[in-house]
Structure 1
């Protein structure tokens, strides 16, 4: 419902307008009616109506003057002029005053109703727009902290033009207007074992608050959280050729590290990037800070690590772990856990001693992982058996913050790999022995069937086959073949009228006398005695 004021110096016209219109049905509430411009102006300023329906020609103050003054006092009020003077000059002035409409007297009730409906629709649309804008503004205000962080992250990673950076720094009221900049990257080393996911998030937020509080004490700084959940800090200042800004960054980093350990009972590592002289170079300092942070893999946790220091410490010696990789592969092939774990320990001891650049360190570890995976797959195992079904070991290493943790993880994977290879070998050997049994049953009637023949069929050495076959069946090859042939001979003696020499030939013996001797040795009876016994039963 919108408020409206009627202004006309003729009482009859005012009363007619009031009586002809059902104001509520058209969305209006007539809050006052006046006979001159002075009275109307006072009431309009006081009541703040949405619409003033006014005559132009009135005593003391005409409608045009009232509209001019009302536009200053209540600019959102809509003005509709009603006049009996068909004068172009009045119309021109009304348009100049941005009147919402201009209607000639006498006006009919239908025309006025149509006009009111039109104005009400316009007011509804305007209200809707204002409500939408208000809602958007509230949402913007609620989102400002997140928008500020995303802006800072973009500034410190992707970069942007100086004009855009200055404009948005001013909009978000971020005071880093120095000429030199250094980025710090802060990350918790680990969480307490008994903490759950909620506790982890709370501790991350607590670290963020500590960094904000400590950075706020220093002028020209800004703090934000990256998408990788690190806390990043931009420290700026005027550092013409000196090291004052670097000293400030080092001091702030130490304060952050000590505060986290003291107040949160956790440790954090802080990486410090290089100093840069332009906002557009913040990305380089940010990347340096994250790289410095990664050096805790070699140095350990709870440290402040400057990328400049790491560049100076990098060893010139080559990082070559080939001989230990061979030892590792040999241990996997032979299933010797002790040999494997010794090789891994020596590899990581070498990495710690040589102290390579962090990217070279990761590459070397990835080479070891690839060698392990390749060996396991070649021996019939699988990568999933070693590292888990959903693992991606080449990237999983980046989740570790200590070299020793990767060493332990790789040793556990190697033990799983050995078990996987052993199981694969057992399964394969079992399959081969089943194939051997089948081959014997299908070719037992061949007098030339031999150990050499079956080993050629299975592509196995005689010694390995003999070992595996004895473990599988509990018999040697000759014992198994003889038992099978004698079993077949007993069936023929019972269910056929074949002569002994014929049966001997059918079960793979050329010499019937040798067959008879083996038969008696195996069953305790001659073939003839066995036939008589089974026939009599």
Structure 2
């Protein structure tokens, strides 16, 4: 809807035009009339207007002078001149000043309305283009963190070595990575050791955001850094000092910062962190190896009370070499992806690899055994956290036992416990998928029965007995179509059927199709079908 302003020094003309336009059915939310250019300018200083319908010859300030001032105040305003002066020079000057059209008095309502329809169409196109640009910009801004995370993951894994330094620089600048990739750096790897224990107070995303926020407080402004979450569930942070100094002094300040971070989160939030500082990577080619060694060291250190801070430059790497040959650790990584996809065959194949290797390796270090258990339990818990379990479901799962490695005393107990727990989780996931399909069917039935009624997302969620965000998400997942788009499509299809009935007026069709606002119905119909309801009715 658009706001239109009229100016003419003849009051009867202003009054007549105002009445005609208010009853025109055009997409006009407001029609205001004035009798001088100065009144128009004062009105435009108070609020925006989309269309100006102006006479040319007026006392004090004529229409041609007015348009110049209007373009200063509101450049997007469309100006249509309506005047009895038909000399070519007026039309020529009006066009030069940016007028949309030039109509000669006397003008019929049909001619005027047709002109304003073209103005409104022009405004619609401009608004749609702006919205499209805004959406693209918003989507880009939303994807930047994901792209930055992918870039940093490639950096840590050595996948950027094939790029020239100039290409790496260009990509890092475009993603706002505040690091000099050709200089020395130190990796910080941070692990949350008591996620399951904290699940009553925080969700996993809340813990992640809290940790990222507190890390920024700990490092800024002394260190420049860029962070991402790696496949092990570690918050990985590449750091460089903001100012040049002795490397040992910088390392001391970095260690102090992360120790204070660990202590603060434990004291204030009850969150236990383990942190590992990598050795100092001397240049870009050394960054991936420094990360690889640090990740291996942290994975081989099972949590201790309150967490710990390790320094790879002083920590022995024997633990990493001692367990590097155990395929079970690799087999049980990222099991949550297999759970969520319902791939039971591959999931249980990987469990079998880990369990069989543990049975065949009586000399397996306890920390490796414990890490296998921890990886499996974390995958199960991470999957369950996305299901919004009922109290009854949660109490039946013995989740506390899964996460407590100290309660598992043998390989057979580990195998039995996690096989049983995994079966329960797969069953819950299947039940949720079935419930989603039933809910979508109920939503579709309710929509079909109430196309002329209230089909707000709130009302639909009440009818389906679930939250609005959840209904919206599962509807899109099950149908591939947004719920609002689905409703609009069905309503317009009904309108198309009703328009074939010659006894029904456009207003009747609109109401029976769920639209109380006829101009809005016309706009939606034309957007979907390509023609107005009036035009479609004639076909």
TM-score w.r.t. the length of structure 1 is: 0.51
1:150 to 1:113, Cα distance in 2 relative to 1, 3 A: same
| 1:162 aligns to 2:172 (yes or no) | no
* Alignment match, 2:63: 63
Q: Deviations over 1:144-191 (max 9, x none)?
A: 87777666556655557213322432xxxx755795432201113466
Partner of residue 260, structure 2: 255
Name the structure 2 match of 1:361: 322
Counterpart contact for 1:273–1:292, Cα < 8 Å: no
Aligned positions of 1:382-401 closer than 5 A: 391-393=351-353
| Equivalent position of 2:185 in the other structure | 181
CA–CA separation in structure 1 for the residues paired with 2:216 and 2:279: 21
Residues 397 and 406 of structure 1 are in contact (CA less than 8 Å); yes or no, is this contact kept in structure 2?
no
CA contact (8 A) 1:180 1:275 kept: yes
Give per-residue Cα distances to partners, 1:439-482, cap 9 Å, x unaligned.
Answer: xxxxxxxxxxxxxxxxxxxxxxxxxxxxxxxxxxxxxxxxxxxx
Separation (CA, whole Å) in 2 of partners of 1:68 and 1:161: 49
Task: Confirm whether residue 97 of structure 1 aligns to residue 102 of structure 2.
Answer: no
- Residue-pair matches, total: 350
Is 2:173 the counterpart of 1:211?
no
Q: Is residue 2:411 matched to residue 1:404? A: no
- The 3-state SS of whatever aligns with 1:235 is strand
What is the Cα deviation at residue 198 of structure 1? 7.2
1:4 Cα offset (Å): 1.7
Report the counterpart of residue 295 of structure 2 in structure 1.
Answer: 290
Using a 3 Å threshold, how does the CA distance of structure 1 residues 176 and 395 change in structure 2: closer, same or farther?
Answer: farther
Q: Report what 2:310 is aligned to.
A: 305
Aligned-pair CA distance for 1:110 = 1.3
In structure 2, what is the equivalent of residue 51 of structure 1?
51
Structure 2 counterpart of 1:40: 40
Q: Deviations over 1:221-260 (max 9, x none)?
A: 4444445431223322244674333333333343344445
Distance change (3 Å), C-alpha of 1:156 and 1:24: farther
Deviation sequence 1:409-455 (CA, Å, 0-9, x none): 899448999xxxxxxxxxxxxxxxxxxxxxxxxxxxxxxxxxxxxxx
- The SS at the match of 1:296 is coil
CA contact (8 A) 2:18 2:32 kept: no
- Structure 2: distance between partners of 1:190 and 1:396: 28
Distance in 1 between residues matched to 2:127 and 2:75, nearest whole Å? 15
| Alpha-carbon distance change, 287 to 24 in structure 1, aligned in 2, over 3 angstroms | farther
Once the 2 structures are TM-superposed, how far is the Cα of residue 301 of structure 1 from its aligned partner? 9.9
Question: Contact 1:37/1:62 (CA < 8 Å) preserved in 2?
Answer: yes
Asked if the contact 1:177/1:220 (under 8 Å) is kept, the reply is no
Q: 1: CA distance between counterparts of 2:105 and 2:53? A: 13
Q: In structure 1, what is the Cα distance between the partners aligned to 2:413 and 2:63?
A: 96
CA contact (8 A) 2:193 2:303 kept: no
Are 2:54 and 2:79, in contact at CA under 8 Å, matched by a contact in 1?
Answer: yes
Residue 273 of structure 2 corresponds to residue 268 of structure 1: yes
Structure 1 position 69, deviation (Å):
1.0
Q: Is 1:235 the equivalent of 2:267?
A: no
- The CA distance in 2 between the partners of 1:364 and 1:23, in whole Å, is 82
Give the secondary structure class of the aligned counterpart of 1:364: coil
1:109 aligns with 2:109: yes
Structure 1 gap segments, 5+ residues each: 315-354, 371-383, 418-537
Between the aligned partners of 2:139 and 2:14, the Cα distance in structure 1 is 46
Quote the RMSD (CA, aligned, Å): 4.8
Change (3 A) 1:195 1:51: closer
